[in-house]
Chains A and B, each alone.
Chain A
Amino acid sequence: MNRRFFLKSGSIALASVGMSLSAPGFLQRAALANTGKTGKRKTLIAIFQRGAVDGLNMVVPFGEPAYYSMRPSIAIPKPEAANAESAINLDGFFGLHPSMAAFKPLWDSKRLAIVHAAGSPDNTRSHFDAQDYMESATPGMKSTSDGWLNRYLQSKPDPDRSLFRAVAISPKRTMPRALQGRAPALALANLAEFTIRAGKSSDNLQNGFEALYANKVNDQLTNTGRETFEAINYLKQVNPAQYKPDNGAQYPRNPFGTSLLQIAQLIKADVGLEVAFTDLDGWDTHVNEGNSRGQLGNLLQQFSAGIAALYQDLGQRMDDVTILTMSEFGRTARENGNRGTDHGHANAMFVIGNGVRGGKVYGSWPGLKSDQLYEGRDLALTTDFRDVFGEIATSHLGNDAQAIFPGYTLSRKNFKGFI
Chain B
Amino acid sequence: MELRKIVALLLTPAILAGQILVASGQKRARTAELTEQQRIVHVLNRLGFGARPGDVERVKAIGVENYINEQLNPEKISDSVAENKVRDLSALNLTTAELYEKYPQPGQLLRQLQARGMLPENLADARENRVKGGANANPNAGANVGEMPKDDSKNSPAQPPANPLENEKYRELIQKYYRDNDLQRPQRISDELQASRILRAVYSERQLQEVMVDFWTNHFNVFAGKGADRWLLPAYDRDTIRPNAMSKFSTLLQATAQSPAMLFYLDNFQSVSPNANANVNRRMPLFRPQPQQQQRRGINENYARELMELHTLGVDGGYTQKDVQEVARCFTGWTIFQPRGGAAAANAMMGREGARQNAGTFVFNARMHDDGEKVVLGHKIPAGGGIKDGLMVLDILAHHPSTAKFISTKLVRHFVADDPPRALVDRVAATFTKTDGDIREMLKTIFFSREFNSTEAYRAKIKRPFELVISAIRSLGADTNGGPGTHQWIARMGEPLYGYQTPNGYSDVAESWVNTGGLLERMNFGLALANNRIPGTRVNLSKLSGEQSRVMDEYLKNLLAGEVSSATREALVKQLDQSDPVTKVVGLILGTPEFQRQ
Contact = CB atoms under 8 A, between A and B. Distances in A.
Interface of A: 50-51, 72-73, 84, 99, 123, 125-129, 142, 172-175, 180, 186-189, 194-198, 201, 204-205, 208-209, 211-215, 217, 219-222, 224-225, 227-228, 231-232, 252-254, 281-282, 284, 286-288, 290, 293-295, 297-299, 301-302, 335-339, 342-343, 375
Choose among B144, B270, B578 the residue with the greatest number of A CB atoms under 10 Å from its CB: B144
A209 B523 CA distance: 8
Choose among A198, A213, A232 the residue with the greatest number of B CB atoms under 10 Å from its CB: A198
B139 A301 contact: yes
Contacts of B527: 196-198, 205
A224 B501 contact: no
B309 interface: yes
Nearest to A289: B152
B184 interface: no
A14 to B, nearest CB: 15
A338 B297 contact: yes
Given A286-B302, A298-B157, A232 B140 contact: no
Contact of A337 (B299, B520, B575, B592): B299
8 contacts: A128-B502, A129-B315, A208-B572, A209-B523, A224-B516, A227-B516, A295-B149, A375-B321
Given A212-B588, A282-B145, A293 B510 contact: no
A220 B511 contact: yes
Contacts of B305: 125-126
A417 B423 CA distance: 52
B502 A293 contact: no
Closest 8 CB pairs of A and B: A337-B298, A298-B143, A211-B571, A173-B517, A337-B297, A228-B516, A187-B515, A221-B593
Contacts of A227: 516
B294 to A, nearest CB: 10
A174 B504 contact: no
Interface in B286-308: 292-293, 295-302, 305
A125 B319 CA distance: 13
A381 B296 CA distance: 28
B565 interface: yes
Contact of B516 (A50, A180, A188, A215): A188
A144 to B, nearest CB: 14
B584 A201 contact: yes
Contact of B158 (A84, A126, A142): A84
B514 interface: yes
Contacts of A186: 515-517
A125 B325 CA distance: 12
A231 B315 contact: no
B510 A220 contact: yes
B524 A224 contact: no
Nearest to B271: A337
Contacts of A232: 520
Contact of A253 (B140, B293, B511): B140
Contact of B517 (A72, A187, A215): A187
A196 B300 contact: no
A189 B531 CA distance: 24
A198 B531 contact: yes
B279 to A, nearest CB: 16
B478 interface: no
A208 B153 contact: no
A125 B518 contact: no
B501 A281 contact: yes
A72 B565 CA distance: 67
Nearest to B274: A337
Contact of A174 (B299, B515, B528): B515
B290 to A, nearest CB: 9
B593 A288 contact: no
B462 interface: yes
Nearest to A126: B309
B298 A215 contact: no
Contact of A212 (B274, B299, B521, B593): B593
B516 A127 contact: no
Contact of A173 (B293, B511, B521): B521
A252 B140 contact: yes
Contacts of B76: none
B155 interface: yes
Given A186-B516, A286-B267, A222 B149 contact: no
Interface string B561-587: 000010110011011001010001001
Contacts of B31: none
Interface string B264-285: 0001001010100000000000
A214 B155 CA distance: 51
Contacts of A208: 571-572, 574-575, 584, 588
A211 B575 CA distance: 11
A288 B150 contact: yes
B157 A212 contact: no
Contacts of B321: 123, 125, 375
Contacts of A301: 139-140, 143, 157
B139 A298 contact: yes
Contacts of A201: 580, 584
Nearest to B531: A198
A113 B423 CA distance: 52
B144 A225 contact: no
Contact of A197 (B158, B493, B502, B524): B524
A205 B518 contact: no
A188 B274 CA distance: 46
A106 B501 CA distance: 32
Interface string B492-529: 01100000011010000011101111111101100110
Contacts of B153: 290, 293-294
B139 A128 contact: no
A203 B139 CA distance: 41
A204 B524 CA distance: 13
Contact of A281 (B140, B145, B310): B145
A309 to B, nearest CB: 13
Contacts of A294: 152-153, 155
Given A125-B321, A205-B584, A205-B588, A175 B515 contact: yes
A337 B297 CA distance: 4
B71 interface: no
A287 B270 contact: yes
Contact of B144 (A127, A222, A282, A288): A282
Contacts of A172: 494
Contacts of A188: 516-517
A212 B591 contact: yes
Given A211-B571, A339-B292, 8 more contacts: A126-B305, A174-B515, A209-B588, A222-B593, A231-B516, A288-B150, A302-B140, A302-B143
Contacts of B572: 208, 212
Contacts of A290: 152-153
A125 B304 CA distance: 12
B156 interface: yes
B309 A338 contact: no
Nearest to B272: A337
B259 interface: no
Contact of A295 (B143, B297, B316, B520): B143
A173 B494 contact: yes
Interface in B302-353: 302, 305, 309-310, 315-316, 321
Contacts of B145: 51, 281-282, 284
